[in-house]
A and B are shown apart, each in its own frame.
Chain A
């Protein structure tokens, strides 16, 4: 083995060992790396009970009610739902059917009281006309199915 082959082998071996170490560490911290819990995870009891945590999902269509500056809405991941109440200013792109992340705590009655609400944007970028076309196509396919 020439010295340079040896050095190269050390680099490859070192990187492989680091990669494995990083994978193991990240796996161990899996639950701490999650930014939010989905309603399904909450219903399974995976969310922490003694401290505040974040829930994330979609704002259920037609569930948003505002009284003064208190907003009530339902967060859904299409399988499970959690009702949320929040007093404060909602972000600009917060709307029904869109992603949301709320921080707060879950009451015994299953009501989530949020202290902070963040809007989660998705990866879709398109002009309003394209959005209208997509919605139309969506509606059309719905009617066809029925």
Chain B
């Protein structure tokens, strides 16, 4: 096979990925902090008040990026699952496990902030409409993945079972995304999408996009940090781990 493919797979080995992740995560953490600082400043001090919702609309600066992340992280987990099953790489399962708690956190934040907004705006904390219900199912898929992989002792078998859950569950993601289009829902349609001009004021949009970037950076940083811990735990008997400088002390 070509040289290119060999290089590509070099980082599929935990021994080479561990130092790379160690170098990368502080950068993502720093970027995340910077974006969050700018994003929150825009969200609270620069963005104008909404004509109808007043100050309550400011929940979108957390709610929308968190919902996006919760869906996107699940897709990334499914991608790792597909790679893991296809190429039998050990790192894929570890990456999935590292991402799951962050995805679950974002799904929870999305539901929780939505409820806080729903009570004053809609008049209800929760309704069983298609958007809210499918997002709740997403949270349960994350929790199911975490519980299933934790319940199986052999990590390789746990990864396989988890990979199947992530692949099966991924059909839920387009359902969440398009639910407001396909059915009558109480949840409003998308203000920002690929296919049409955003229906919100520019400053509000910028605040939201910068917050989304901050969430991206945070997710990458925390996943890399967590995967290092998972690698160490699973490879603790390997020679390369024993030879790590931080193990010498």
Point out residues on A near B: beta carbons under 8 Å: 4, 7-8, 10-11, 14-15, 18-19, 22, 26, 30, 33-38, 56, 89-94, 98, 101, 116-131
| Beyond A91-B121, A118-B122, 19 extra complex contacts between A and B, CB < 8 Å | A7-B85, A8-B85, A10-B85, A35-B130, A36-B186, A37-B184, A92-B123, A120-B186, A121-B188, A123-B191, A123-B199, A123-B200, A124-B191, A124-B200, A125-B60, A125-B200, A128-B49, A128-B51, A131-B51
* Contact digits for B142-166, partner A, Cβ 8 Å, 1 yes 0 no: 0000000000000000000000000
Interface size on B (CB < 8 Å)? 40
B87 touches A4 (CB 8 A): yes
Instruction: Say yes or no: is B171 at the interface (Cβ < 8 Å to chain A).
Output: yes
B188 touches A122 (CB 8 A): yes
A118 touches B124 (CB 8 A): yes
A130 touches B201 (CB 8 A): yes
Taking CB atoms, residues of chain B closer than 8 Å to A7 are 85-86
Q: A14-B167, A35-B183 are in contact. Are A125 and B204 (CB under 8 A)?
A: yes
A8 touches B86 (CB 8 A): yes
Q: A7-B85, A14-B167, A130-B51 are in contact. Are A35 and B120 (CB under 8 A)?
A: no
A91 touches B123 (CB 8 A): yes
Taking CB atoms, residues of chain A closer than 8 Å to B183 are 30, 33-35
Instruction: Say yes or no: is B235 at the interface (Cβ < 8 Å to chain A).
Output: no
CA distance A56 to B122 in the complex (A): 13
A-B contact pairs, 30 of them (CB 8 A): A4-B87, A8-B82, A8-B86, A15-B170, A18-B171, A22-B171, A33-B130, A33-B182, A34-B184, A35-B183, A36-B184, A91-B121, A91-B122, A91-B123, A92-B120, A92-B121, A92-B123, A116-B124, A118-B123, A118-B124, A119-B122, A120-B186, A120-B188, A125-B60, A125-B201, A126-B51, A126-B200, A127-B51, A128-B51, A129-B48
Considering only CB atoms, which chain B residue lies closest to A21 in the complex?
Answer: B171
Taking CB atoms, residues of chain B closer than 8 Å to A15 are 167, 170-171
